[in-house]
Structure formats: structure tokens, C-alpha cells
Amino acid sequence: MDKMIYAILSVKKKSGKLDALLATLKGISGASLYAVVYEGIIAVVSDIEKSDLITDRSNAIEYASIIESLVQQFPLLPMCYGSLMESTDAIAEMLGRNYTELRQNLKKVENMREYGLKIFCDPEKLKSEFQAISKNDINILIEPSTEVKNSVYREYVRNKLKEHRLEESIMTYVNSVIAEISGCLARLNAVCKFKKMPSATIMVDAVFLLRKDKKDELLKVVNDLKNQYQKLNFVLTGPWPPYNFVDTRIK
């Protein structure tokens, strides 16, 4: 039977707190959860048959719920769904091999929570707003300087250049929004990661790691941003376990 790892966490003092919590939780397929300990870092695991490891919505939610319950009480590094090892000895060895990196990451996420901010835009409205700016000087660049007649190819380049200018203008705007958010969150000592325009409607997809007592300040920042950028829509979610802020690969 394999061992499924849910999270790696640190427990400062030997106490019954973790055991008591694990006794109230059930793993995938209703299996009991238990701890594999190595020098103060702990892997929370359950036994599982490989054939029971089904990747579906219900198991994914169950898995996330367990991590969510653990993160309420301990600093932890969430593991990917489906992280299996063949024995508790192999897990202890893995903890030993990766000890320094795991410790560093656990220290980084201690008392921290992750938040996600998605900023939505209406792509058509955004394009029409920036259309005027992007037209500047295009004719100067594309008009033939000699007696060459305007051709279909030249017209094609002119249209493509308009599109290119439009994209560049929008990207400049996106960068300015990101700079504004970074500035506001720097005051909260947040660690930020941004993705620009990951889809047509999401202008910015950001994740932040910040101290758990800063939630209200974060809400105020997002509220101020909304007032500043009234045409954009904001969705802030969290607090989450630090899914996007673990910088280690298990060796």
C-alpha cells in the first residue's frame, strides 16, 4: 500500500495538537491520517491503494479541505494532489534529503496567508478606449515617401501596425495597474506574483503572500484600487494555503 502526502508542516513543540487534529480528519477514501516525523518537520500522510487514486472534483476538494484544516493551526507546504511514496521510511528519507529547503520554505510561510486577486476588464471597451492613442503617427510611418502607390500590402501593414500599437498601449496600461498594486502592497510587506492578460477578460491575475493579521488592510487596498480603476472589476479570494509560494522541488 502506498502513502499519500498531503502537506509538510512544522510543529514547534511536541504536543498532542497535531494528533488531536488528525484524529478528527479523514483522508482520501476515508483513510486515517497520520504523521511521519523527521527532526521537527512532519509529513501528513494516509495509506492509499494506487487504484483508489482517482483525480476528480470530489477528491480534489477533499484533499484541499485537509490542507485547509491543517493550515489553520500549522505553517505548512501543500503537496500536489497525487504525491505518493512507497513507505514511511521513504518519506522520512525524503524529508531528510530536502530538510534545509523545506525548513527555509516553512519559515517563509509562517504566519502568512495567500490571497488571489483577479482583475477583469471588458476587452472591447478597453480596445475602443485605447484605439485613438494607438493611431498616432501610423500614417507617417507607412505612407510611401516617393511616388510609390499605396498597395494592398501597405494597407495590410498599416492595419497590423494599428493592432500592434493597440496591444502595446493596453500592455502599458496593464503594467501601470500592476505597478500601482505593487506599490500599495509593498506597504504591507506582501510578496506578489503577477500574470498579465492570461485570458481575454482577465487583465491581471495576482497572488500575494502576506501576514495573516493584514487581511483587513489588504481589503482596504483592494477597495481603494477599485475606486481608482472604476471600469475594472476586482475579485479578491482567500485566505489560502501558500499554494503559489513554495520554492522547492522535492529531490
Partner 1 sequence: MMNENKILFDTGSLGELSKELGKLTDKEKSKLKLNPDNAESGLAKLVMTLVELIRKLVEKQAMRRVDGGSLTDDEIERLGETLMKLENKMDELKKHFNLTEEDLNINLGPLGDLM
Contacts with partner 1 by CB under 8 A lie at 57, 61, 64-65, 68-69, 72, 115, 118, 120, 141-142, 144-146, 148, 151-157, 160-161, 163-165, 195, 197-202, 205, 215, 219, 222-223, 226, 233-238, 240
Nearer to partner 1, 109 or 222 (CB): 222
CB of 48 to partner 1, least distance (A): 20
Q: Give residue 58's Cα distance to chain centre.
A: 21
Select 2 or 217, whichever has its Cβ closest to partner 1: 217
Alpha-carbon span 220 to 94, nearest angstrom: 42
User: Do 174 and 204 contact (CB within 8 A), yes or no?
Assistant: yes
Considering the complex, state which of residue 38 and residue 240 has its C-beta at the smaller distance from partner 1: 240
Q: How far is the CB of 17 from partner 1 (least distance, A)?
A: 17
Q: Give the C-alpha separation, 214 to 217, whole Å.
A: 5
User: How near is the Cβ of 246 to partner 1 at its closest, in Å?
Assistant: 14
40-43, long-range: CB < 8 A, 24+ apart? 40/10, 40/11, 40/12, 41/8, 41/9, 41/10, 41/95, 41/99, 41/102, 41/103, 41/106, 42/8, 42/9, 42/10, 42/11, 42/18, 43/5, 43/7, 43/8, 43/91, 43/94, 43/95
Nearer of residues 191 and 197 to partner 1, judged by Cβ: 197
Between 183 and 198, CB nearer to partner 1 = 198
Contacts of 54 (CB under 8 A, 6+ apart): none
Residue 153 Cβ vs partner 1, minimum distance, rounded to whole Å = 3
CB of 80 to partner 1, least distance (A): 12
Q: Which is nearer to partner 1, 37 or 202 (CB)?
A: 202
Spatial separation of the C-alpha atoms in residues 96 and 94, rounded to whole Å: 5
CB of 51 to partner 1, least distance (A): 23
